[in-house]
Structure 1
């Protein structure tokens, strides 16, 4: 191990690098309408462009989720920043929809590398006795970075020049600065090994985890699916149905959901894992009801309310789900089980979103949204009912 690890400075700097990477994954959100006008593609194309990101994340989680345990955190995170820079370059060069697909895929590869390695890096750089605060730092910078992406892009697109270029130029500069910071942080893996020793660790479910995993996975799926809808089609709904053409407002609505998720995750420490999962399901159901009202009545206030409530519900349910499945897993299988949960979550952020895009053509945006809401409401109600009958006690 090299460098100085005294105090909180290295931990916070690692968190800042984490936030920069995650901000890049949501940066295009308020810009999809501008790309739609420029290239003339459909709502289905928007949802597929968005979902390509999740396929990149899932691929990395399945094939390279444990690489940083062998080669070290810094090399993996530097590779993640490299993919983030390549993604920004794709968007800067975009003269066809193919560049958007490539940019989103590279962004997914970047996020996939960062999701596990950066979280562990932040925890390992914390000073002795600071694991609880470090967990909060990792949570806050992950969701906070995701929220800052659309907020930054929306503000620049609305109030600065070159709306389809400046956000990515700024992010490219931030990525370069992050690489400089990362190179000055200490490596935390003591026993470094060659890359060839890092074999893929496929997701798996030991028998004792399965009763907890089912409802946890369903709640995670619904929470991420809601985030997927907000970050892919909500700007189109705001523009087409509510006539909100301000890109900063579109970015803010999406950002609120991610910021509220951080608050929801913090609540888990107060209510406990056993209560946070069913409570998260109930809050997600409320968010779906608010979103249905927003679609039916075309009210911006309900869109904002549903974003805030969805974020809190997602934070409660997902952190509760992570704690529950980690607590139920044997130590030597924990990484594989958590990888399985993330695969389900990122499936939620992609497949239902594409389904909405498919339905927009024959049913319109509002009709497709209501079908999505009905399906998610059934899933989250079933998970909540199961959890009320068989409460999760692990980690409570």
Structure 2
């Protein structure tokens, strides 16, 4: 009987540990959902404040610049001061961002909201990923990685879906989505306060030092094509989340906010599936395969722009999302494996900086070209540029594949 009691106690401890891990994942998802919440609402803001498509892309890009800044200046903060303080700070930024959107009476409020949303994502991404994995049982690393991946990309997908459904079928389309998210953030803060801290040796905030982008010589052969594929994949996501609602409304006359939110959400959900498939496909095959699917996704998007077909937009979101997920997780695994242990965090931060550059810079380019060329013309120029980048990366990977052990 004592043995049975011990086994029963161990099982109970494992269940409690997994419960903590899943709750940490739920907090992660809520935080990331706030970063994509405004996506299907930009048309409403354009009507309310009278700004151009270029302004939409700049408002969107402010988020990416804020993420890059946090990754460079405080990406390692949770290793120093603890996971919970950083996650609570990220949730605080998310809450203030929601308040900015609730109070928005001019364009400046949108810039402030997106800036704070970027700060939240930059703080949350590294800290919450580590926290979810540390809360899991010691032998549950693979499942914990699944929880963290699903929480990150699933949360990003749930944001536009939630906002689109509420904006279409509930009152106060510019207020209710952010009020709901604010309530979810408050509940998440309570959960974090209940969960244990996983960093045992914590130091003062003043000991946090900025991380410089770093690229050791042995990483460079892998980093080039990996970063190029990551840049292109995130650029495709950037275009989907910033201008696809406008394309659906203007070119396809699809003004249902739930539909536009669902299309964006499908890209993120497909990315989750792609990331999960890397374990079966293998890193060495996932990078070129991801590049190939990105090319197919770009071709489908070009067809959607040329022939104004919603089905091709959906297909592009799914195929491109799977390709992005395959390529990015494989890129992350490859550069991490090639990096020396004492430089790994800096190399990964550099990869994330390149990836988030893909969300911001090409999106602004599309916005600049929309005025003289129209949304379709600007989108085709974007697709042509991304096709060159992805093709170059894929050709390099075919000639010099990533080692199977990476």
TM-score normalised by L of structure 1:
0.98
Find the partner of 1:199 among 194, 209, 218.
209
Change (3 A) 1:18 1:115: same
Does residue 178 of structure 2 align to residue 178 of structure 1? no
Please tell me the root mean square deviation across aligned C-alpha atoms, in Å: 1.1
Distance 2:263 2:162 in 1: 12
1:395 Cα deviation after fit = 3.2
Q: Which residue of 118, 122, 129 corresponds with 2:128? A: 118
> Aligned partners of 2:340, 2:207: CA distance in 1, in Å?
23
Partner of 1:235: 245
Q: How does 1:59-74 map to 2 (within 5 A)?
A: 59-74=69-84
2:228 maps to 1:218: yes
- Whether the aligned pair in 2 keeps the contact of 1:324 and 1:394 (CA below 8 Å) is no
Q: Determine the C-alpha separation between the residues in 2 that align with 1:301 and 1:160.
A: 26
Equivalences for residues 224-303 of structure 1 within 5 A: 224-303=234-313
**Residue 367 (structure 1) aligns with:** 377
- For 1:254 and 1:384, how far apart are their aligned partners in 2? 25
The answer to whether the aligner puts 1:188 opposite 2:198 as a matched pair is yes
Contact map agreement 1:5 1:186 (CA 8 A) in 2: no
In structure 2, the residue matched to 1:317 is 327
After superposition, give the CA deviation of every residue in 1:248-296 in whole Å (9 maximum; x if it has no partner).
0000000000000000001111110000000000000000000000000
d(CA) in 2 for partners of 1:321, 1:37: 40
Whether the 8 Å contact between 2:282 and 2:404 is mirrored in structure 1 is: no
Which of residues 107, 124, 139 is equivalent to 2:117? 107
Distance of 2:405 and 2:31 partners within structure 1: 30
The residue aligned with 1:135 is 145
> 1:169 & 1:60 partners in 2: Cα distance?
26
Deviations, residues 281-331 of structure 1 (Å, cap 9, x unaligned):
000000000000000000000000000011100000000000000000011
The answer as to 2:60 corresponding to 1:50 is yes
Residue 198 of structure 1 deviates from its aligned partner by: 1.4
Q: 1:25 aligns with which of 30, 35, 42?
A: 35
8 Å contact from structure 2 (residues 14, 137) kept in 1: no
Q: Point out the structure with max Rg over C-alpha.
A: 2
How many equivalent residue pairs?
394
- Contact 1:323–1:395 under 8 Å retained in 2: no
Aligned to 1:92: 102
Give the Å deviation of 1:107.
Answer: 0.0
Note if 1:36 corresponds to 2:36: no
* Cα deviation digits, residues 318-360 of structure 1 (max 9, x gap): 0000000000001110000000000000000000000000000
Measured against aligned partners, the alpha-carbon deviations of 1:50-81 in whole angstroms (never above 9, x if no partner) come to: 01000110000000000111100000000000
For residues 343 and 298 of structure 1, the distance between their equivalents in structure 2, rounded to whole angstroms, comes to 34
Whole-angstrom CA distance in 1 between matches of 2:26 and 2:87: 13
Aligned residue in 2 for 1:335: 345
Q: 3-state SS of the aligned residue for 2:17?
A: coil
Structure 2 residue corresponding to 1:379, chosen from 373, 389, 400: 389
Native 8 Å contact 1:83 1:106 kept in 2: yes
Q: Which whole-Å deviations, capped at 9, do the CAs of 1:76-103 have from their partners, x for residues lacking one?
A: 0000000000000000000001100000
Q: Residue in 2 aligned with 1:161?
A: 171
In structure 1, distance between residues paired with 2:16 and 2:59 = 43
Cα distance, 1:7 vs structure 2:
2.7
Show structure 1 runs of 4+ deviating over 3 A. 3-6
TM-superposed deviation, 1:5: 9.0
Q: Gaps (5+ residues) in structure 1? A: none
Q: Which residue is equivalent to 2:10?
A: none
- Of the structure 1 ranges 196-205 and 90-99, higher mean CA displacement relative to structure 2 is found in 196-205
Q: Displacement of 1:4 after TM fit? A: 10
State the distance in 2 between where 1:394 and 1:70 align. Answer: 34
Q: Counterpart of 1:7 in 2: which secondary structure?
A: helix
| Offset from partner CA, 1:172-225 (integer Å, 9 cap, x none) | 000000000000000000101111111112120000000000000000000000
Superposition map of 1:342-353 within 5 A: 342-353=352-363
Map of 1:7 onto structure 2: 17
